[in-house]
Structure 1
């Protein structure tokens, strides 16, 4: 089955993300971006849906207090997104793709099985994610959302010790302050292991061939092996601040903008 693609975004979309969304449409997927405010300039074929109905804006305050102007702090968007994608899985909304995932071909899934890939040797990525609504991972997050303190029962020992030490020293009592990705890939990996679902994971290169080394995408190079490899379905870019810069001729980014279009 070729699923609908869903994601969440907070704030303006840069040129890279718009190119990636175009690639997802070009692969034949229906694409919906959830947001709290209307998003201007979305590519043709990309819909915009109200995020409040999936996970209320007020939930962010349980992660960390807002800034004086009411805006979200730096980590809030990332951690809110970790919960938001699990809420979309509970609603059977479709396949989650981060807005910086460039698709090279369509994604086909089995609705009865998890769909994710290794990001690192011992860690799953959650930038590409599908889980059946009754999957144990989805249920674990649904239970966690009901807790006021948002302290998971799947925490690794090192995170439990760090959290205990932080509280003993009089620091923050919010688990979300320990590590930016505390509810992200590490949580997905721990829960997939607990549910005996790690065997469903696709190889790293299927989506994370350039994730840890963005120069492979942004700098001029011979990228022919990447775009011709049948084992690579897409590329999670992780732009690290380069999403608004113009593509450099001879780069994979320049090829992508030529193929899928740019703003």
Structure 2
């Protein structure tokens, strides 16, 4: 099955994300970006839908208080999107891809089975994820969202100790302040272990061959091995602040911008 691709975006969209969205469209998928506001520069052919209908904007304040001007603080967007993708799964709205996933070929899924990949040796990535509605991982997030404190029962011992020590020292009572990805890959990994589905994960190469190594994408390199590798379905870029840079000739980014216009 060729699923619809869904994602969430908040704020201005840089050229890298525009290129990645075009690649997802070029692979034959319908692509919908959910947002609270209009997104200037959204590529032609990409649908834009109201995020409020999926997860209200007010939920962000349960994660972290906004800035004095009402804007979201540094980690809020990332953590909000961790919950947002699970709400999309609960509503059976499609396959989640982060907006910085460059898709090299179509993604085929079995709608009855989870779809995700290893990001690191012992951690799943949630930049590419599909879960059937009613799946145990989705249910765990929905149960968590009923809590006021948003403290999951799947926290690792390390994170439990960190949270406890911070509270004892008079620090934040919000788990969201402990770590930016506390509801992201670590949560997915813990819950997939609980449901016995770590074995379902695709290998790291499938989507995370350049993950956390932006030089492999932005700097000149011998990239043909990546774009011709049959095991690589797409590339999660994780630009580390480089998404607004102009493509450098000879880089994988330059190749992508020429291919996905």
> TM-score range with shorter-chain normalisation?
over 0.9
SS at match of 1:77: helix
Deviations 1:124-153 (A, max 9, x none): 000000000111000000000010000000
Runs of 4+ in 1 over 6 A off after TM superposition: none
How far apart, in 1, do the equivalents of 2:224 and 2:255 lie?
10
CA shift for structure 1 position 44: 1.7
Match of 1:174 in 2: 174
CA shift for structure 1 position 40: 2.1
Deviations 1:222-254 (A, max 9, x none): 111101100000000000111111000000000
Match of 1:155 in 2: 155
CA RMSD of aligned residues (A): 0.5
How far apart, in 1, do the equivalents of 2:5 and 2:253 lie?
22
Match of 1:30 in 2: 30
How far apart, in 1, do the equivalents of 2:171 and 2:243 lie?
35
CA shift for structure 1 position 42: 1.4
How far apart, in 2, do the equivalents of 1:218 and 1:41 lie?
21
Unaligned runs of 5+ in 2: none
How far apart, in 2, do the equivalents of 1:184 and 1:42 lie?
26
Match of 1:141 in 2: 141
Match of 1:43 in 2: 43
Unaligned runs of 5+ in 1: none
Match of 1:55 in 2: 55
How far apart, in 1, do the equivalents of 2:96 and 2:229 lie?
23
Report how many aligned residue pairs link the two structures: 261
Match of 2:218 in 1: 218
TM-score, normalised via structure 1 length: 0.99
Farther-moved stretch of structure 1 (155-164 vs 37-46): 37-46
How far apart, in 2, do the equivalents of 1:208 and 1:40 lie?
28
